[in-house]
Amino acid sequence: MTIPFSEQQSEHWLLERTYHAQLRDGRELSVPDFTRAMKQLTDVDAPLSSQSWKSKPPEWLPAKKSTNVSIPISTWMEISPEEACTNYQEGSPILLYGEHRWEHLKEASETWRPNRNVCTIIYGNAKEVPEVVSGVEYAVCYLDPKRGHAANASWRAWFSSDVATLLNGSTHRNILFLSPCMQFPSTTHYTVIAADGQVHEYSDRAKAIQGYALLASQEAHDQSHLHSIFPQFCYYHEIICPDGVYRIEFFGPRMNEQGYKVHKG
């Protein structure tokens, strides 16, 4: 039996901003590659066939714009396609993972690369950098009946984004179906920090962007120097962990930091 990730591990990896996925044979996906793929997720336009899964006419469900999204789930475990279909229909998110291996054909025309003189200018020596002739693209597709769907560019290029096709058993054999191993309750927040420090909170991203555009900058003096203070847009998740409430910023002044504890009241 494969031992699932513990609650303590899940909390640590979540705050660390890394993503982990455990397969049924006990192996784990490459953490750097999996994390990089998850951080490249953007909203996808839902095809009409998948929109109609919600038993509403397709025209009632407008397609989403392509924007960056962040999924606050750090640990996943492999499940069967049948389990994935059932979980999705019951309202739970699922994640699809695939790898596309590519290789340049020998007879294909050679791409441009710097000659010895240019290499000396760029790299400081005349050694030519060998051309990459093969590699692996890591593709992910996030399906959530409540929050919507997202995929990275590699998934769009090589796999289907139609929910009905993905869940009816006719998917690519190399696709892995993943379910959240550990979920912590979370809320999504969109705020704008005005130039005077006042925080304005909005119900969704579009309204926050509109509010940001309406706020003006302020001029400030600092040791006889005049500079401008601009409003700051901030998008973050507040997550209830066993150790307390933490905030993970995906856009804002602390977007490159680990999750930090929020002191309420």
Are residues 25 and 62 part of one domain? Answer: yes
Are residues 211 and 82 part of one domain? Answer: no
Residue 249 included in any domain: yes
Are residues 80 and 151 part of one domain? Answer: yes
> 0.85 cut: is pTM over it?
no
Are residues 153 and 26 part of one domain? Answer: yes
- The pLDDT of residue 3 is 78
Question: Within 10 A of 18 (CB to CB), how many other CB atoms are there?
Answer: 16
- Boundary residue ending a domain (150, 180, 210): 180
Are residues 158 and 34 part of one domain? Answer: yes
- The pLDDT of residue 109 is 54
Are residues 238 and 160 part of one domain? Answer: no
Residue 171 included in any domain: yes
Count of domains forming the chain = 2
Question: What is the enclosing helix (H) or strand (E) of 180?
Answer: strand 176-180
Cβ-in-10-Å burial (0-12, 13-18, 19+) of 253 comes to exposed
Are residues 252 and 164 part of one domain? Answer: no
Are residues 176 and 194 part of one domain? Answer: no
- The pLDDT of residue 250 is 87
- Boundary residue ending a domain (116, 145, 180): 180
Are residues 176 and 88 part of one domain? Answer: yes
Are residues 57 and 36 part of one domain? Answer: yes
- The pLDDT of residue 64 is 45
Q: Rounded distance, CA 173 to CA 245, Å?
A: 40
- The pLDDT of residue 217 is 85
Distances (CA, A) of 100 to 14, 28, 31, 135: 27, 18, 17, 8
* Residues in the chain where the model's pLDDT stays below 70: 1-2, 44-66, 102, 104-116, 118-134, 169-172, 223-224, 264-265
Are residues 237 and 161 part of one domain? Answer: no
Residue 119 included in any domain: no
- The pLDDT of residue 48 is 33
Residue 193 included in any domain: yes
- Boundary residue ending a domain (125, 150, 180): 180
Residue range(s) defining the domain that contains residue 249: 186-261
Single-letter amino acid code for the residue at 4: P
Residue 246 included in any domain: yes
Q: Rounded distance, CA 74 to CA 17, Å?
A: 7
Are residues 70 and 37 part of one domain? Answer: yes
